[in-house]
Amino acid sequence: MKVAIYGQYYQNSTEPIIRDIFVFFNQKNVEMVIEADFLSMLYEKELVKKEYKTFQSYDELDNTFDMMISIGGDGTICAQQL
């Protein structure tokens, strides 16, 4: 399984959710590809230590992804038909 993870911004209230998502997907050997700016924030907050593949734009997400998770923000995603 391959999952894209996007985070618009980081809030302290989302920290437990972020940890749970990463622990769960890592235990299940799910390939996670993280939006580059969000991953930088996670490294700064020391929420993740492992290296992950990144994407910078939804244009880089293709039909090889099984799902996308959006953390934070209002949940809106600008997307196009893949």
Q: Is residue 80 part of a domain?
A: no
Q: Is residue 79 part of a domain?
A: no
Query: Which pLDDT value is given to residue 15?
Result: 87
Q: Which of 20, 37, 66, 74 is catalytic?
A: 74
Query: Which pLDDT value is given to residue 14?
Result: 82
- Tens-digit pLDDT string for the chain (82 aa): 999 999 876 677 788 888 999 999 999 999 999 999 999 999 998 989 899 999 998 889 999 999 999 887 665 555 444 4
Q: Is residue 38 part of a domain?
A: yes
Q: Is residue 22 part of a domain?
A: yes
Query: Which pLDDT value is given to residue 81?
Result: 43
Residue 34: domain span: 2-71
* 74 labelled catalytic: yes
Q: Is residue 55 part of a domain?
A: yes
Query: Which pLDDT value is given to residue 54?
Result: 97
Angle 21-51-38 from CA coordinates, rounded to 5°: 60
Distance, CA of 38 to CA of 71 (rounded, Å): 10
How many domains is the chain partitioned into structurally?
1
